Every structure is written in C-alpha cells, then in structure tokens.
Structure 1
C-alpha cells in the first residue's frame, strides 16, 4: 500500500513516519505543541536534513528525533 501525497505535495508515508516518531518522543525528547504538530514537523525534519547532509546514513528515527529535539526542546530537560 502506498500513501497518497498530502495537500501540500509531501509524501504521505514520510509525513506519517515523522508523526509516528514525534508521538514516540513527545514529552521526553521533544515537546512540540499540538498546533506545531499538524504540518510543521515534516518541514522541520526536512530543513534539518538539508542543513546536515551527512546524516543520510543514520537511522531515520534517530535523525527525526534529533531534528525535533533541536526544534522543540522540552523545558526543564
């Protein structure tokens, strides 16, 4: 099964993956607000990858976690 592109043309499977990792790390490694989670997260990860091209060989979940942690640090952690 292949995910359909989102309304903004993003790959639906990639968006779902990022949101799944975000769910897994919510409150521990990253703390985006519900409003930020809607469409912003995939763009944050894409920008992080663009700024760090050497990360392409790293495990995808770790890259997504690190991108989200940098963009949405949890206060007090």
Structure 2
C-alpha cells in the first residue's frame, strides 16, 4: 500500500486509506472501481482536509497513478 507523509493540515488519513484499499481491490480483480469512477467519486465527494492528515500533493500524485493503472486494466 502507498504511504504518505503526515502534515499539519492534509487529507483525512481514514478516507485516503479506504480509497487506496478500494483501488487495490479493483486492481486485484474485484472490478469495484474504474478510473472514471474513481475520478467521479473524488469530484463529487472529495477528501476532507483535517489536522494531521496526508500530504495533499502526494495524495494527488497517487490518485493520478491509480487512475492510470485502473484505466490500463479496463
């Protein structure tokens, strides 16, 4: 699983970890998410910014990579 730096203000660790787990399950064959569904979910719901959360730049980079990998699998 991807690891992220914790910052004073960043994305909710719980939300990012849950999303990463869903992506990993999809990449392993569950078909739960496609790249388009991942993007739509993030556009609609987003990720909460909290104290002591994951670095937003690192999370954004991971999301782009997850999208790429999910799209390749489709």
- TM-score where L is the length of structure 1: 0.34
Bigger relative contact order, structure 1 or 2 (CA pairs below 8 A, ≥6 apart): 2
Compare the two structures and name the one with the higher strand fraction.
Answer: 2
